[in-house]
């Protein structure tokens, strides 16, 4: 390689660095690992189980708001009120009971009920500028994230292992660029 060819190669590398592509690749790779940790493994930002479901507090759920339909009934098991009107919600002994009835896992906290939050948060990271990328969700899911973190603690934060992954992928991308 001649000196001129080498200088052109270095200039191309500098242009790629200015675009933030290596940071984007590292961000996306790390985000995928985060999504796997949260939604597949059910782990928080301390890399331990998010928590356990409440199995004692009763609740009523509107079947229109549920990913799987169920019959409406009260705590007494009846589908109509004394006045003859049909009940609009279903009674469950607890949130854990509700998840079991609609076929969702209950052994540990699993943040996938309808798949909406996972699908939204799991999308690609967004470029803020050439040095900053972020993972965001729609407003309705940002509220879910806030509520989940209020209840269970830090879930959607990066772990030390994920931070190390980011640095390693970024390093690999920079080495590839400068070879």
Q: Where are the domains of the chain?
A: 1-50+112-179, 53-107
pLDDT in tens, 144-161: 999 999 999 999 999 999
Q: d(Cα 162, Cα 5) in Å, to the nearest integer?
A: 37
Q: d(Cα 155, Cα 146) in Å, to the nearest integer?
A: 10
pLDDT(124) > 80: no
Which pairing describes strands 59-61 and 90-92: parallel, antiparallel, or unpaired?
A: antiparallel
Q: Which two tokens stand for residue 139?
A: 């407003």
Q: d(Cα 33, Cα 98) in Å, to the nearest integer?
A: 29
pLDDT bracket for residue 14 (50, 70, 90):
confident
Q: d(Cα 29, Cα 133) in Å, to the nearest integer?
A: 12
Percentage with pLDDT > 70 across the chain: 100
């Amino acid at each position: 390689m001649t000196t001129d060819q080498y200088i052109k190669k270095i200039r191309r590398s500098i242009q790629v660095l200015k675009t933030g592509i290596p940071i984007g690749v590292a961000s996306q790779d790390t985000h995928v690992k985060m999504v796997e940790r949260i939604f597949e493994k059910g782990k928080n930002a301390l890399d331990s189980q998010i928590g356990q479901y409440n199995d004692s507090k009763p609740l009523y759920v509107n079947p229109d708001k549920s990913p799987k339909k169920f019959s409406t009934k009260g705590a007494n098991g009846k589908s109509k009120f004394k006045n003859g009107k049909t009940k609009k919600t279903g009674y469950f002994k607890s949130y854990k009971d509700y998840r079991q009835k609609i076929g969702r896992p209950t052994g540990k906290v699993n943040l996938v009920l309808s798949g909406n939050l996972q699908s939204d948060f799991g999308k690609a990271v967004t470029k803020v500028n050439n040095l900053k990328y972020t993972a965001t969700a729609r407003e309705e899911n940002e509220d879910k994230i806030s509520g989940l973190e209020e209840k269970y603690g830090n879930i959607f934060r990066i772990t030390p292992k994920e931070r190390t992954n980011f640095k390693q992928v970024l390093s690999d991308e920079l080495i590839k660029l400068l070879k």
